[in-house]
Amino acid sequence: MKKIILIKPVFVFFILTLLILFSLAIGRYDLGLGRLVTIFLSYFGVSGYESPETYQSIVFLVRLPRILLAVLIGGGLAASGAAFQTIFRNPLVSPEILGVSAGAGFGAALAMLANLPAWSVQLSALVFGLMAVAMTLGVARAAPRSEITAMLLGGIVVTALFGAFIGVIKTLADPWNTLPSIVFWLLGSLGRASARDVLMVLPATILGLSLMFLYRFRVETLSAGDDEARTMGVDPIKIRLLVVLAATLITAVGVSVSGMVGWIGLVTPHLARICGGTSFPTLLVRSIAFGAVLTLAIDDLIRSVEVAELPLGVMTALIGTPIFLILLPKTRRVWR
């Protein structure tokens, strides 16, 4: 297999660190890197440095939670996409394929229709996202086809079902108050990020990524086919189910906080694969790094627009689509 270009994950994480610092400084209140250093020193009580509490609130209560969420959600979606594409041996698979995003969208819309508080909207999105994947697995088990095909078909069916439910909710919602909130949530946004959201996403993302990393070499054997995996002592059904559960947990928790954010889990693994090969252990690390950088960069672009804040899901689609089309010829060579 011919590699197009080789980019070390360490270099990408270094770029991510610089991007985080840059993201803390930019926004509608441009702080600058020099003032940002002063704010950090003042916040941690270093003598001789003082900054207004307003600046500290902007950095630590508004921008930092949003940046951390962008990194966690972007890295988690990219890792989930890489895992799904490997275990299903399909380059067009994304984390939403099993219905988690559609289920989470219905759960959030249902909670908004009932005028429940924000934390209830997130909880409802999480519960229905997990429920949608459980339904997909149930359909796959009952279908008289191969496991992979049945699971993908089950995901399509469940996604369509919850998409129809979302349409019903939109029809019943108040067009002046509730409907705009539902539509905006479905388009995805990190504008209301808080420290509580970070504490909700962080443990689930760490747990899911830890499971993928722990079983990374066994997942790699699935890319050669189930029969080859069995000859190496790997149970493909067990590993595939474990990866599905880990990726579903990451995706469901992320979507419950940010709304429906697409294309990151589809495009980023292809970019990581082109820049370092198809071996899943390295692909996983590269996907996390690339996904975090791409999501944070897109969110920075959103925050830099002065007129209005565009939804994150819309921007990831606008940017992800041309990137995917550019990568498509190289992706075909890599997969061959």
Q: What is the pLDDT of residue 48?
A: 66
Token pair recorded at residue 17: 């660190």
Task: Read off the pLDDT of residues 263-313 as tens digits, 9 standing for 90 and up.
Answer: 899 999 999 888 877 889 999 999 999 999 999 999 999 988 777 778 999
* Cα-based torsion angle of the residue sequence 280, 286, 292, 293 in order, rounded to the nearest 10 degrees: -150
Q: Are 64 and 303 in contact (CB under 8 A)?
A: no
CATH class, 9-335 region? mainly alpha
Domain ranges of the chain: 9-335
DSSP string, 182-203: HHHHHH---TT--HHHHHHHHH
Q: Which long-range contacts (CB under 8 A, 24 or more apart) does 171-176 make?
A: 172/113, 173/109, 173/112, 173/113
The CA-based angle 197-46-43, given to 5 degrees, is: 25
d(CA 129, CA 99): 7
d(CA 207, CA 248): 11
Q: Is the pLDDT of residue 37 over 50?
A: yes
Its pTM stands at 0.91
Which range is least confidently modeled, 8-17, 137-146, 186-195?
Answer: 137-146
d(CA 42, CA 188): 34
% residues pLDDT > 70 (the chain): 94
Identify the band that residue 332 occupies on the pLDDT scale cut at 50, 70 and 90.
low
